[in-house]
Amino acid sequence: MTYLNKILTGAGVLLWSSGAWGAEAAKPGEALNMTAIAMFFAFVAVTLGITYWAAARTKTTKDFYAAGGGITGLQNGLAIAGDYMSAASFLGISAMVFAKGYDGLIYSIGFLVGWPIILFLMAEQLRNLGRYTFADIVSFRLSRVPIRTLSALGTLCTVILYLIAQMVGAGQLIRTLFGLPYSYAVIIVGTLMILYVAFGGMIATTWVQIIKAVLLLTGATFIAIGALNHVHFDMEAFFRSALEGVKASNLADHKKVVAENKDIFAPGGLVTDPISAISLGLALMFGTAGLPHILMRFFTVANAKEARKSVFYATGFIGYFYILTFIIGFGAVVLVAPNPQYIDAIKGTLLGGNNMAAIHMAHATGGNLFLGFISAVAFATILAVVSGLTLAGASAVSHDIYANAIRGGKVDERVEMRLSKFSALAIGIVAIFLGIQFEKQNVAFMVGLAFAIAASANFPILILSIYWKNLTTRGAMIGGFLGLVSTVVMVVLSKTVWVDVLGNKAALFPYKDPAIFSMSLAFVGCWLFSKLDNSAQAQEERARFAAQSVRCETGIGASGGVQH
């Protein structure tokens, strides 16, 4: 009896014949998991209930984009964690630890260390200067139309790439977990995210993210406790059994580690050369600080104080989560790898691929019921992330492009909000369409590209506009575009796209991650063309820096700021 069949009998479920799905038949073994589906339905029912409740409270653009500014620091910290801890990090990083060991931790650390920097240099500045999008901050003293257009472009590129990667991941994950056909899964995810965002705006999105964060942290904690309980919480025994687990394992990845005599507790093949290591480090750290859906969360709290608190809580939750994924990954080496019921002997991987390490761990530590819970949590995780992305994309269209660039800030709130809802619908449809189109494509590079664009286009103009008096519109435009275009070109010419996706023989750009070059280009571009800019407009923009820094430091005049 296969593992998945056991789940089925265990949960007392009917097995859907593959024919029931017609042409879109699920593959054998990818059968419907009813425990997981029941728990998922419970999650959907609760979140749709919240959306209904939130819809009644979403009356103004401030409610829609920023949840009325009434989210507390702790709530926002959880929501940020919920926005940031994607299924890719839960499954992907624990799988990387499972397959390669220490490399997984290098990624985790890179994903985390951006947060203190965001707190020290950006959180309260964002809150004090902005209202709904990060473009608000950049256009505080720079020219509205070009800056809003550039920022919206940077936002949409990041959002769409990130969304496609999430959609494809969601489709594949849900097919494996629930036995649903790929396209159904993508359509369900797309439809739910449209409903949350279009009807419940930021209020619903926030609560979906909070619930998901709590569920994911709880679930991951139990798996990690299960893993450590196996060795009676003796860390030495835990790592020793992981080491022995790899040596005894029949999986292809583990055999390769043993054959190459690699140390699983030291950096492995992830980083091949120093330039790539530094470049990856830059993209991970500063990419986080340029992700529009993350930056947007800072406008949901009442003041700078709560904004700071949110990062403190978020860093704690996210850091704790990454420590858990590390334990779960090695735990899977001990508890999952030796057990034939989790192994696809023909492929030499885990059943459903090595990304299923955390999912199989749920079964190994808590049985069928817990497996169902974690599967539902993984689905919820995707929903929370895509909702945040959709809302960020929709606000770039309605707030940056329409309300500010086209209508010069003079716009009827109801019209702007309606446009935002339609944008959410449009982005959702595009995401469903592209998600289905990209089913068979290798989309692994897309999250990396999204981070690289965020680090090379959004982050430089944002940080310079806050801190560097001499930045002018011309400098920001040229620097921002240089960052954006060079990132895309270098990624397309690198091995990940030029060879792995387009099928060419050799990469034209030697490094996997362009951030070290593209970020430098963006910063140098901003600096040089601002310095050369002596137009009357540039002088005015520099003169406005004083007013900006006063508001930035004190919050006087900030939207929704503390009124005394």
Q: What are phi and psi of 457, to 5 degrees?
A: -115, -55
Task: Give yes or no for residue 115 binding other proteins (CB under 8 A).
Answer: yes
Candidate segments 31-39, 81-89, 237-245, 338-346, binder of other proteins by CB under 8 A? 237-245
- Residue type (1 letter), 190: G
| Selected binder of other proteins within 10, 29, 146, 319 (CB under 8 A) | 319
What span, in angstroms and rounded, lies between the C-alpha atoms of 388 and 182?
22
- Residue type (1 letter), 141: R
Apex 248 CA angle, 244 and 249, nearest 5: 115
Are 46 and 211 in contact by the 8 Å Cβ rule? The answer is yes
Task: Give yes or no for residue 140 binding other proteins (CB under 8 A).
Answer: yes
169 vs 480, beta carbon nearer other proteins = 480
3-state SS track over 308-361: HHHHHHHHHHHHHHHHHHHHHHHHHHHHCCCCHHHEECCCCEECCCHHHHHHHH
Rounded to a whole number of angstroms, the minimum distance from the CB of residue 248 to other proteins is 15
Are 67 and 202 in contact by the 8 Å Cβ rule? The answer is yes
Structural tokens at position 28: 């054998």
Beta bridge partners of 301: 71
Task: Give yes or no for residue 219 binding other proteins (CB under 8 A).
Answer: no
| Selected binder of other proteins within 326, 370, 445, 511 (CB under 8 A) | 326
- Determine the size of the site formed for other proteins (CB under 8 A): 67
Task: Give yes or no for residue 542 binding other proteins (CB under 8 A).
Answer: no
| Selected binder of other proteins within 64, 98, 322, 370 (CB under 8 A) | 322
Task: Give yes or no for residue 274 binding other proteins (CB under 8 A).
Answer: yes
Half-sphere exposure of 544 (CA within 13 A, CB side): 18
Are 460 and 526 in contact by the 8 Å Cβ rule? The answer is yes
Are 308 and 119 in contact by the 8 Å Cβ rule? The answer is yes
Task: Give yes or no for residue 536 binding other proteins (CB under 8 A).
Answer: no
Rounded to a whole number of angstroms, the minimum distance from the CB of residue 492 to other proteins is 25
Q: Which of 450, 442, 435 is nearest to 189 (CA)?
A: 435
What span, in angstroms and rounded, lies between the C-alpha atoms of 72 and 81?
14
Task: Give yes or no for residue 547 binding other proteins (CB under 8 A).
Answer: yes
Candidate segments 56-64, 192-200, 209-217, 233-241, binder of other proteins by CB under 8 A? 233-241
Residues 13-72 that bind other proteins (CB under 8 A): none
Residues 281-300 that bind other proteins (CB under 8 A): 281, 285
Task: Give yes or no for residue 141 binding other proteins (CB under 8 A).
Answer: yes
Q: Specify the DSSP class assigned to residue 393.
A: H
Q: Which of 8, 28, 18, 25 is nearest to 371 (CA)?
A: 8
| Selected binder of other proteins within 24, 234, 273, 412 (CB under 8 A) | 273
The binding site for other proteins (CB under 8 A) comprises 102, 105-106, 108-110, 112-113, 115-117, 119-121, 124, 136, 139-144, 235-236, 239-240, 243, 263, 265-267, 271, 273-274, 277-278, 281, 285, 304-305, 308-309, 311-312, 315-316, 319, 322-323, 326, 404, 408-409, 541, 544, 546-551, 553-557, 564
